[in-house]
Structure 1
Amino acid sequence: MSHSPSLVDGRRPVLPSRVVVTLLLPVACLWPQANAKAQGATGSLLRGQVQLANGSAPPPTTVSLLDTQEQTTTDSLGRFALRTMHRGVATLVARRVGFIPATVDIEIPCDTALRLTLMPMPPSLTAMTVVAAGEYTLGSGRTASLTPLEVAQTPGAAANVAKALQTLPGPQNVDEGSGLFVRGGDVTETRVLLDDAWLLSPARFDNPIGHVTATVNPFLLDRTVFSAGGSGAQYGNALSGMVRMETAGRPLTSTGNATASIGSAGLAAALAPHRRLGIRANANIRALAPLIAVFGEAQPYAPPPEGGDVSGTLEWQSGKAGRIRLFALRDDSRFGVGNAGVPTGTVYTATTGQNMLVLSWRDSASTWRPAFTVARSSVNRAESIETLRLGTQLGVIHAVAAIAWQPDGRLHLRIGGDLERLNAQYTGALRDSSDTERSVTDRALFDARTRSDRVGAFAEATFQSYAGLRIISGVRTDRATITATRTLDPRLSVMWQRGSVGVTGALGVLHQVAEPTFYRPSEARSRFDPMRVRESILGVQWGSDSAGLRLEFYDKAYSNLWQFTRHNGVAGNARGHARGADLFLKTRLNATTRSRVAWSIVRSRRDDPDTGVDAPAIGDVRHSVSWITDRVYGQLTVSTALRYATGRPFTDIIGAQRVADVALPVFGAPNGARLPAYWRSDISASWYRPIGGGRAMVLWGDLSNLFNRGNVMRYRWNADYRERLPVRAPFNRALYAGATLLY
């Protein structure tokens, strides 16, 4: 998961309204430069390989740094080594007559083997690469919507991948959490994959401080692809959104770093013991009690947020273009909050443990390209609200296999499948409020256990013509034992480019098996069918990759939705509809200033689970806008962020009735009321300065919630439901400042 000195479960800590200054004193880097030692007068060495689309080596190819014009030439195997004195952000370019120049954005120093792929030159070279409808990339290369540096420097995101994804078109700003509500869908309808394996989220349902989506430390990732719609047939069991993360490759040199601050400490190492072997390891601990003790708190924490994580990657280069990679993650967190948003204002606590182990193999040395992944992921979460104890245990074994055939740059065929076994256990117990001894046994309320096996298969073909047309067609089928229903999902995606203009479109059907907690075999019901959505997307792109406009319109029709009622009952067979538009604008105001705007418009409605009437969905946030601007002043970079969203819908309580001297709420129209509009502004800055001896210093700061806006996240009511009390976002104005020493 993503962590920094100011993050717990993907969120910043709650701080008082006055400005807070935290001075970090690490001995190495939290920024992308952390994975390489600062070089002395000899400069930094960049290594990598250039290949053709079929994986073979091209004739001698020129590789150069666009920023400095330093260059070298590849050898007979396509390998290159380029030494440079340049530091910071740069663009590496591979050029060969008859091929489109291949580029990759990097951060120097760089300890990872770089790979560039040359594609045959079409009749006319265009200035833009059209990507699939609904798809955005966090990573390097021409199709990247956000680079890793932009993720790290996004104000208010604190280097959290999920928070950075919220600044792209598609997600709606429902609360201050990191959950992804995509194009009117629910947070549980977005699936997160790591090296093609399912990463279980530790908090897939609402909790008092906001929705949470699991991601990984961004400095362990090579790139992240976010799909707001139009996913290919390879990916299944996701109704609204898809996040595909790829872990970083093996390092080329051995490096290490350590960090320390008032709220956290960490160690990291990158080892290259053999030319084919690479190892990465990270360990972090977090304890915000010292920070809270010094500066106070805006709401009662019991206990203060604390936790830790360890992760590592082991990679072996199995051939000229093959690799075997093992990734492991363990994360633990614990926190508690008072006034948990329920009528009695009780205290909520949660303890979460997450494990993941992923073994993957890829090989692209020939026209046949196999890929295989097997993984084990689990989450163990314990929650308590006063005397109520809730437990969630999820475990999944996921295996994915595929093989692709790419005889040339025009045709690409891919077939494969996946096997998934999910075990879920949900427990509830009640403890007598008079019990004080730990040995007292809780009175069990329920213990629900569910196992679901899902088998999926797909076939997909991609055809690209020299006329700028690209067609991806495929079909997917799945069957889960929990539903006993086989699904068939045809999907089609079309991209066409002419000069600086591109047109995209997608049609398809997607299915998802609802969370196991919806499955109640003890209740009488005839079927537990998978949820379904039929979507269509039409978009247009204009400009270049660094400065351009993307506009997409979409329409989604839902059926057989499963939802919870107000009293935690289960309602199925609901229908819904979402339609809207997403706009993404990237521009360079001048050589040192760039800006991006994401604007999402949506109208989302679903059958209310309590009344069955058509009503606004929780993701019916009509407008969500993010405006990010970066400006470079020499070695100083300043970034600003402005976020705005119209209020999300909620069901109001319009009165109370007394039954046996107990006040019961009288509800208004389902989701008929709306919270006040949400807006927030953040600013961040980072300054890089060499200090000699092969060392450098990075000073950075982040002023969050610049105007000290107290956004309303939800409402709670007093005991007789006569007074409505706002539950405000736990983010007050706070200044985080830090210093990083590179060596």
Structure 2
Amino acid sequence: MSPSAKGQNLTGHDKIILSGMVKNRAQQAVPFASLKIRGTDEGTTTDSLGRFSFSASASGEQTLVVSSIGFNTYTQPVNLQGKDITMQIVLQPRRQELQGVVISAGSFEASDKAKGASLTPMDAVTVAGSNNDLATALRSLPGAQQIGEQAGLFVRGGTGEETKQFIDGMLMPFPNYPSIPGLPQPARVDPFLFQGILFSSGGYSALYGEAMSSALILNSVDLPDRSSADFSAFLPGNLSAGFQKITGDKKGSYGISGSYNNQHLYNRIVPQEPDYFYGPEYYNGNANLGRKIGKTGMLKLYVSWDHGHTALRNPDVDSLSLKSAYTSKSRNLYAHVNYRQLLGDSWKISAGLAYDDNRDEVNTRLLDRDNQQVFLSHDPYRYKNSDFLTRSVFAQGRLVLTHMFGRNQSIDFGAEHFYTRDRFTHNDSLSALTDHLSAVFAEGNLQLSSHISARAGLRMEYSSLLGRTTWSPRLSLAYRISDGAQFNAAYGMFYQKPDNVYLFANRRLDFSRADHYVINFTRKADNRFFRIEAYYKQYHDLVKTDPAYDNNGKGYAKGIELFWRDKKTIPDLDYWVSYTYLDTKRDFLDYPYTLRPAFTSPHTATLAVKKFFPGISTSVNVSYAFAAGRPYYDIAEQPEGPARVRDEGHTRAYNVVNLHIAYLFNMFKKWKQPAFSGVALGANNLLGTRQVFGYNYSSNGLNKIPVTPPARRYYFIGFFTSFGVDRTSDFMDNMDSNL
């Protein structure tokens, strides 16, 4: 450990580094063992090779506590003064117990306890084609659909609105920039802010609600290891910079970062369809603050703000001699504060407040060939010159109490309240909605035996706007059949309010519901991970818009998913393969009868390969994504009776190869603080295959325009550097971390 890694604690002593290994009696590594200085929240978890290293602010005589399911708790006095401590710890097996049973039905976890099992923040940056975007990166996992023309994450037959995102337990209501017809939109958060990512595609915890299909649960970093700064510049037009500062007493940190992205120059160089006459332009800033309170308390504040502006022109589908212009302007302010504290040896409290102020402005115009506005009063043109303004205010309060028992058992119970106020203006017409949604929940984590774990919970929600109460039972089980292999099962009921666009039309709508049934088998061993999962979802009370706005919709989704990841067979090579089979149908919105949704594909597969060449400090990442053709429909309303399907078919299969290359180097070798720099370049859809996501139809059904990506390929090249943190090890650890 270099001297620069040390700091000063409040008593003036050097901050002590504790490091070493944890093994069992057979001298085998014990991965994911928990180490903690008694009476504080300082500690760590061993990696896949049983290694650990952490710094302690406490001083003097202290007690180190080491625990791992299947072993007796180990304690050792340590004198935190004078010099760093290196130790070899041997845990004694607990009689008739195996390694801990971790419930994982329907979820992929990426955290310090599950590195390599799924997606880490570094994966989100380095998987080819992800573009540093969490939602895009998650499409390489089973269950997610390859959607290239809409914002959001589409999971197991669910729409993008049915996946919700949570940060430290708090709902982020607008995780992406607003949707633009035919175009994906980037996420608003930086994956490097998080130490853990849980992608739950079914059967998630009763602590979370308002998501029928999926939950993306993010845990932010408490305190970084050291102060740092970073800067990057990429063509086609992205600049970003930021810093993170550790306070002098080592008990707090604060940071600010920002980015600016403007694609205007790139769109002039690489021909695009549609015709952009502004942007796309995005700028974003965020600030964070972390502070240890007392021995076991942690306070975290996160604030982000952003602005987006995009304007484009397309041929008008109803008259190809005219054009349709679409302009989107958005701004968003999001903030949340989270506090957690140990209360004695067996209780923990976690509380949070969140606030979001979102404004989306959309203008549509009908233009002639010279881009001059045209006004026509007859259908279907009368509403093609319109102005829309949506203003949404969101607030959340949340309190969770946890009582911890022996053998990693616990019970969580708490409550939260959501306040939403939405105002929607269309030209001169104003509509407004206000809702108070309250929820209470309780969930127990039980170790029924050395082989069996269970999680059982119940969630109740009440919406003042709908005047409805829901009860949502959740149950998960895990059965360990050998060290590293287990079966998992989950069941749950999941409710969700209708989107505002439907509530503005009918405020008497009810909650929609999905019932989840999940079973899987997983095996982790020797830096390899295998999972096979089957699921069934039954949808109830989906929103219908034709012939009237009501909850008479229904549907189902069922399928099988496979996932295989291997980090051992080939040195410095990490690859994974995922496959999803999906059988789903819905009768919802304007569908005249039960149909396979237009955003679903029956077969989806991904191959992601990441190879690091230490000799030349170069990372090469390749990914291939496949999706069978998606259905498309021309659904026409009828003056009397239900709508009818006027035309239907299937798109061509989706095939995309992405290539990213990064060369890493240190251009500040004489500096005392570590630095990391690199040059990266890449191409998405390297082979230029033509992708068709669906079709837009004219009102009379005579014109049919394909929905395609703006360009066949997307290129980037740029430079990035960071000070204070050597990211080279992140690339190496990404190859070496155990499963």
Is structure 2 residue 536 aligned with structure 1 residue 536? no
Give 2:665's aligned residue: 689
In structure 2, distance between residues paired with 1:508 and 1:96: 27
Q: Which 5+ residue runs of structure 2 have no aligned equivalent?
A: 8-15, 20-32, 75-88, 366-384, 724-739
What is the DSSP-based 3-state SS (H/G/I as helix, E as strand, rest coil) of the residue aligned with 2:693?
A: strand
In structure 1, distance between residues paired with 2:516 and 2:90: 34
In structure 2, distance between residues paired with 1:535 and 1:494: 14
Q: Which 5+ residue runs of structure 1 have no aligned equivalent?
A: 1-38, 81-92, 102-116, 430-443
Give 1:351's aligned residue: 329
Is structure 2 residue 221 aligned with structure 1 residue 221? no
Amino acid at match of 1:361: Y
What is the DSSP-based 3-state SS (H/G/I as helix, E as strand, rest coil) of the residue aligned with 1:355?
A: strand
CA separation of 1:160/1:712 partners in 2, compared to 1, >3 Å: closer, same or farther? same
Is structure 2 residue 597 aligned with structure 1 residue 617? yes
Give 2:376's aligned residue: none
Give 1:460's aligned residue: 443
Give 2:305's aligned residue: 330
In structure 2, distance between residues paired with 1:62 and 1:330: 32
* Contact 1:514–1:562 (Cα < 8 Å) also in 2: yes
Per-residue deviation, 1:683: 1.2
In structure 2, distance between residues paired with 1:268 and 1:204: 21
* Contact 1:129–1:142 (Cα < 8 Å) also in 2: no
What is the DSSP-based 3-state SS (H/G/I as helix, E as strand, rest coil) of the residue aligned with 2:501?
A: helix
Pick which of 608-617 and 232-241 moved more: 608-617
Match of 1:484 among 449, 467, 491: 467
Per-residue deviation, 1:214: 4.3
Is structure 2 residue 212 aligned with structure 1 residue 239? yes
TM-score normalised to structure 1 length = 0.79
CA separation of 1:134/1:118 partners in 2, compared to 1, >3 Å: closer, same or farther? farther
Amino acid at match of 1:280: G
CA separation of 1:279/1:671 partners in 2, compared to 1, >3 Å: closer, same or farther? farther
Pick which of 411-420 and 144-153 moved more: 144-153
What is the DSSP-based 3-state SS (H/G/I as helix, E as strand, rest coil) of the residue aligned with 2:620?
A: strand
In structure 2, distance between residues paired with 1:65 and 1:532: 40
In structure 2, distance between residues paired with 1:677 and 1:312: 42
Per-residue deviation, 1:160: 0.6
In structure 1, distance between residues paired with 2:163 and 2:90: 33
Amino acid at match of 1:652: D
Amino acid at match of 2:334: M
Give 1:283's aligned residue: 258
In structure 1, distance between residues paired with 2:191 and 2:44: 31
Point out which structure has higher relative CO (alpha carbons under 8 A, 6+ apart). Answer: 1
Coordinate RMSD, CA, aligned: 3.7
CA separation of 1:411/1:644 partners in 2, compared to 1, >3 Å: closer, same or farther? same
Per-residue deviation, 1:631: 1.4
Give 2:501's aligned residue: 517
In structure 1, distance between residues paired with 2:327 and 2:396: 30
Amino acid at match of 2:563: F
In structure 1, distance between residues paired with 2:416 and 2:243: 33
* Contact 2:98–2:450 (Cα < 8 Å) also in 1: no
Per-residue deviation, 1:350: 0.6
Amino acid at match of 2:191: P
Match of 1:389 among 387, 390, 393: 387
Q: Where in structure 2 are the equivalents of 1:113-128 lying within 5 Å?
A: 123=95
Per-residue deviation, 1:146: 1.7
Cα deviation digits, residues 396-423 of structure 1 (max 9, x gap): 1111111000022342111101100111
CA separation of 1:163/1:331 partners in 2, compared to 1, >3 Å: closer, same or farther? same
Give 2:577's aligned residue: 597
Give 2:294's aligned residue: 319
CA separation of 1:478/1:79 partners in 2, compared to 1, >3 Å: closer, same or farther? same
Give 1:194's aligned residue: 167
Per-residue deviation, 1:540: 0.8
* Contact 1:279–1:315 (Cα < 8 Å) also in 2: yes
In structure 2, distance between residues paired with 1:205 and 1:333: 8
Cα deviation digits, residues 605-625 of structure 1 (max 9, x gap): 111433542222234321111
Amino acid at match of 1:580: G
Q: Where in structure 2 are the equivalents of 1:549-628 lying within 5 Å?
A: 549-564=530-545, 570-588=549-567, 589-610=569-590, 612-628=592-608
CA separation of 1:183/1:61 partners in 2, compared to 1, >3 Å: closer, same or farther? closer
* Contact 1:404–1:415 (Cα < 8 Å) also in 2: yes
* Contact 1:381–1:393 (Cα < 8 Å) also in 2: yes
CA separation of 1:240/1:271 partners in 2, compared to 1, >3 Å: closer, same or farther? same
Amino acid at match of 2:710: P
What is the DSSP-based 3-state SS (H/G/I as helix, E as strand, rest coil) of the residue aligned with 2:267?
A: helix
Is structure 2 residue 488 aligned with structure 1 residue 504? yes
Pick which of 335-344 and 450-459 moved more: 335-344
Amino acid at match of 1:136: F
Per-residue deviation, 1:177: 4.4
CA separation of 1:515/1:223 partners in 2, compared to 1, >3 Å: closer, same or farther? same
Is structure 2 residue 282 aligned with structure 1 residue 307? yes
Per-residue deviation, 1:498: 2.2
Match of 1:474 among 443, 452, 457: 457
CA separation of 1:564/1:171 partners in 2, compared to 1, >3 Å: closer, same or farther? farther
Per-residue deviation, 1:359: 0.8
Is structure 2 residue 129 aligned with structure 1 residue 156? yes
Is structure 2 residue 401 aligned with structure 1 residue 423? no
* Contact 2:105–2:203 (Cα < 8 Å) also in 1: yes
In structure 1, distance between residues paired with 2:51 and 2:597: 53
Pick which of 540-549 and 416-425 moved more: 540-549
Cα deviation digits, residues 339-393 of structure 1 (max 9, x gap): 1774344111111111111011012363101000111012110112212111222
CA separation of 1:165/1:261 partners in 2, compared to 1, >3 Å: closer, same or farther? closer
What is the DSSP-based 3-state SS (H/G/I as helix, E as strand, rest coil) of the residue aligned with 1:292?
A: helix
Per-residue deviation, 1:564: 4.3
Q: Where in structure 2 are the equivalents of 1:594-673 lying within 5 Å?
A: 594-610=574-590, 612-634=592-614, 635-652=617-634, 669=645, 672-673=648-649
Give 1:146's aligned residue: 119
Pick which of 587-596 and 505-514 moved more: 587-596
Per-residue deviation, 1:674: 2.0
* Contact 1:194–1:245 (Cα < 8 Å) also in 2: yes
CA separation of 1:98/1:299 partners in 2, compared to 1, >3 Å: closer, same or farther? same
Match of 2:396 among 398, 402, 405: 398
Pick which of 122-131 and 345-354 moved more: 122-131
Give 1:271's aligned residue: 245
Amino acid at match of 2:403: W
Amino acid at match of 2:573: T
* Contact 1:459–1:475 (Cα < 8 Å) also in 2: yes
Give 2:155's aligned residue: 182
Amino acid at match of 2:132: A
* Contact 1:142–1:545 (Cα < 8 Å) also in 2: no
What is the DSSP-based 3-state SS (H/G/I as helix, E as strand, rest coil) of the residue aligned with 1:164?
A: helix
Q: Where in structure 2 are the equivalents of 1:71-110 lying within 5 Å?
A: 77=62, 98=71
Cα deviation digits, residues 611-649 of structure 1 (max 9, x gap): 542222234321111110111221222111000112222
Cα deviation digits, residues 578-617 of structure 1 (max 9, x gap): 1111211112332222211121111111114335422222
In structure 2, distance between residues paired with 1:314 and 1:739: 28
What is the DSSP-based 3-state SS (H/G/I as helix, E as strand, rest coil) of the residue aligned with 1:188?
A: helix
Per-residue deviation, 1:71: 7.0
* Contact 1:136–1:225 (Cα < 8 Å) also in 2: yes
Amino acid at match of 2:241: L
In structure 2, distance between residues paired with 1:72 and 1:187: 40
Pick which of 327-336 and 630-639 moved more: 630-639
CA separation of 1:97/1:421 partners in 2, compared to 1, >3 Å: closer, same or farther? closer
What is the DSSP-based 3-state SS (H/G/I as helix, E as strand, rest coil) of the residue aligned with 2:277?
A: coil
Pick which of 416-425 and 172-181 moved more: 172-181
Per-residue deviation, 1:543: 3.4
In structure 2, distance between residues paired with 1:572 and 1:475: 24
Per-residue deviation, 1:77: 4.5
In structure 2, distance between residues paired with 1:411 and 1:69: 25
CA separation of 1:546/1:67 partners in 2, compared to 1, >3 Å: closer, same or farther? closer
Is structure 2 residue 478 aligned with structure 1 residue 495? yes
* Contact 2:5–2:226 (Cα < 8 Å) also in 1: no
In structure 2, distance between residues paired with 1:217 and 1:675: 33
Give 1:360's aligned residue: 338
What is the DSSP-based 3-state SS (H/G/I as helix, E as strand, rest coil) of the residue aligned with 2:563?
A: strand
In structure 1, distance between residues paired with 2:655 and 2:626: 4
TM-score normalised to structure 2 length = 0.80
Per-residue deviation, 1:539: 0.8
* Contact 2:632–2:650 (Cα < 8 Å) also in 1: yes
* Contact 1:644–1:680 (Cα < 8 Å) also in 2: yes
* Contact 2:352–2:399 (Cα < 8 Å) also in 1: yes
Give 2:433's aligned residue: 450
Amino acid at match of 2:128: P
CA separation of 1:77/1:239 partners in 2, compared to 1, >3 Å: closer, same or farther? farther
